[in-house]
Amino acid sequence: MRKALEDLIKKSIVYKYDLPYVVGSVPRTIFSTLDDKCYAVSDNDSLIKIIYNSIIDYSFNELDFTERELEDLHTIAFQERIRYDEDDSDATKQKYGFFGEVILHSILKVFFGTQTFISKGYFYNPLENSESKGYDAYHLIEHDSKVHLWFGETKFHQSYTQAVNDVLSKIKNSLSDKYLSKNLLALRKNKDNLNLKGSKIEKILIDWTENPNIKIIEEIKQHSIELVYPVIILFQQNKKGYDESIKAIPKYIEEKHKLEKYDLSIPYSVFFVFLPVEDVKLVKSEVIKWIESKKPLMS
């Protein structure tokens, strides 16, 4: 990631507190196995700038940067790495998934120190003209032979209830051996595009290619690999202010959603990252204007 962009993210997306938050008597969500994280955005303009400039980092592996100019990569991203069609209506453009996914990518790298295992852009198929399937991020942290796969999810809506409902309607499917296996199969198919050579998970994928009869979930367990599932929710801030915006979410989740047992046999962790936004529609509209006017990128 470019230093100027990293500095902007650190300056503009500000950590506030964890949930549970004793001062405000706000619990973490009933779905979270780790403390939830709450951040604030300094201003709309900075968030617009972050989204627009992070599109390249989300769409390409870092090694790709050495081969092409940033402006060229930005153009290619909209042609073959993310869903974007200038002929779509404004209402359709507001629903594009990349708005939230680039923020997920940036927050994981800058604040949680993850490494991109493979950029999400490799999974997009321009012929289908729809959002790419699977997890919204494929990151990992590998330290002292211990591997944590950070395969996340994000929603960026006006309403936090819509964002939460969308995530929790699919969480049981996402946290399952079957879904994880399908995503690992997609990684195996893209093994030549992996960003981190020599990692433990890469070796497992190569072994799986050479011997398709390997039971991949058993391999993951034998290598003590764990799944971390961060869920980033961006939503319109409540008129009553930041704290009230945060406070409403765990309560809503407990009232409207039931915690179920997951069919995932490897160790896993789940936590939410909440990021209230002052004006969701304005942010997305301005990013669209920047895209279509080809505003210069940060170097």
Per-residue pLDDT of the chain (299 residues; tens, 9 = 90+): 889 999 999 999 999 999 999 887 999 999 999 999 999 999 999 999 999 999 999 998 877 776 668 888 899 998 889 999 888 999 999 999 999 999 999 999 999 999 999 999 888 888 877 778 899 999 999 887 789 999 999 999 999 999 999 999 999 999 999 999 999 999 999 888 888 777 888 889 999 999 999 899 999 999 899 999 999 999 999 999 999 999 999 999 999 999 989 999 999 999 999 999 999 999 999 999 999 999 999 87
> Percentage of residues in the chain with pLDDT exceeding 90?
74
Spacing of C-alpha 215 from chain mean position: 27
Helix pair 200-210, 177-189: axis angle to 10 deg: 80
3-state secondary structure of 239: coil
Q: State the DSSP string of 160-215.
A: HHHHHHHHHTTHHHHSSHHHHHHHHHHHHHTGGG-SSTT-HHHHHHHHHHH-TTS-
Q: Are 217 and 266 in contact (CB under 8 A)?
A: yes
Full-model pTM: 0.93
Spacing of C-alpha 185 from chain mean position: 19
> What was the pLDDT predicted at 67?
62
> What was the pLDDT predicted at 125?
83
d(CA 224, CA 246): 35
**Residue partners of 88: CB distance under 8 A and separation at least 6:** none
> What was the pLDDT predicted at 69?
86
Q: Are 251 and 228 in contact (CB under 8 A)?
A: no
d(CA 118, CA 251): 35
Of residues 91, 147, 155, the one with CA closest to residue 114: 147
Strands (DSSP E) contained in the chain are: 13-19, 36-41, 115-116, 139-143, 146-150, 153-156, 226-236, 268-277
d(CA 135, CA 125): 15
Q: Are 187 and 205 in contact (CB under 8 A)?
A: yes
3-state secondary structure of 110: helix
Reduced DSSP (H G I as helix, E B as strand, rest coil) percent helix, strand, coil of the chain, to 5: 45, 15, 35
Per residue in 97-151, pLDDT (tens digit) is: 999 999 999 999 999 999 999 999 888 888 877 778 899 999 999 887 789 999 9
> What was the pLDDT predicted at 143?
82
Residue listed under structure tokens 């869920």:
231
Distances (CA, A) of 218 to 85, 182, 245: 42, 14, 42
> What was the pLDDT predicted at 155?
96
> What was the pLDDT predicted at 7?
96
> What was the pLDDT predicted at 104?
96
